[in-house]
Amino acid sequence: MSTMIITGTSTDVGKTIVTAALAAAMQSTGARVAVCKPAQTGMLPGEPGDLAVVETLVGPITTAECVRYRDPLAPETAARNQGAEPVRLSTIVDTVAPLQVAHDVTLIEGAGGILVRLAPDLTLLDVAAATGAQALVVTTAGLGALNHCELTVGALRARGIRPAGLVIGSWPAEPDLATRHNRTDLPRLSGVPLVGVVPSGAGSLDPETFRSAASGWFDANWLTDWTAAARVADLHHTTSNTAHQAH
């Protein structure tokens, strides 16, 4: 099995739609995919959150949400503001672990950027380290993207977490000069390949159209290699468990 955190260079960069698109694209290759949201904010119990968006666009898929808070704030701030307990790393790990066992790929969608606090001493970097995840960085396309992207990639590398790729979360129908240059400059300056470009408005497509188009938004070789590696890792894990049980 393989695990990937989906993080953004900031908030509102398209992480949820990218997560849904990647899940749909990987499912189209036959991979078993699960999605976890460690902390949902800005939602009351029973209201549809980010995972509901994923479920609507992707169709049948395993999802898991660890905690949710009513206020649209960073998770640590939202918990403190309503007098609730912050999410624990152990809760996230315990939620993700069975997903990893039962699926080829587990996607973990963060909240905002990589250093947004999930709890006073907890960020998505800690989640990635604890779950053995690589990282997919979702970025904007226009001015400011280069700086934010390099900062995010630098934070990942400083923690020893591999950035597996960059995805532009919303590509405009009529890109301006900076946006057109960023398509080349983002991978050139960050040293991380651009593996996906999701068109603006993709989240408004009907689910069937979304699912059929999703694979085309990602680099085909990267998608194939990553899902193949996930299956190899799963086969190795299954074989090792079988051998261990035999002893």
Structural domain span for residue 96: 2-236
The answer to whether residue 114 sits within a structural domain is yes
The C-alpha atoms of residue 167 and residue 73 are separated, in whole angstroms, by 24
The answer to whether residue 226 sits within a structural domain is yes
Cβ pair 15, 110 in contact under 8 A: yes
Q: Taking the model in full, what pTM does it have?
A: 0.91
What are the beta bridge partners of residue 168? 139, 197
The answer to whether residue 101 sits within a structural domain is yes
The answer to whether residue 245 sits within a structural domain is no
- Overall number of domains in the chain: 1
Q: What is the pLDDT of residues 169-183, one digit of tens each?
A: 999 999 999 999 999
234 — pLDDT class (breaks 50, 70, 90): low
The answer to whether residue 121 sits within a structural domain is yes
Q: List active site positions.
A: 37
The C-alpha atoms of residue 158 and residue 146 are separated, in whole angstroms, by 18
The answer to whether residue 115 sits within a structural domain is yes
Q: Is residue 236 scored above 60 in pLDDT?
A: no
Q: What is the pLDDT of residue 216?
A: 97
Cβ pair 11, 112 in contact under 8 A: yes
Mean pLDDT across the chain, nearest whole number? 93
Q: What is the pLDDT of residue 232?
A: 60
46 CB neighbour count, 10 Å cutoff: 7
Percent of the chain having pLDDT more than 70?
A: 92
Q: Tell me, what CATH number does 103's domain have?
A: 3.40.50.300
Q: What is the pLDDT of residue 150?
A: 97
The answer to whether residue 231 sits within a structural domain is yes
The answer to whether residue 90 sits within a structural domain is yes
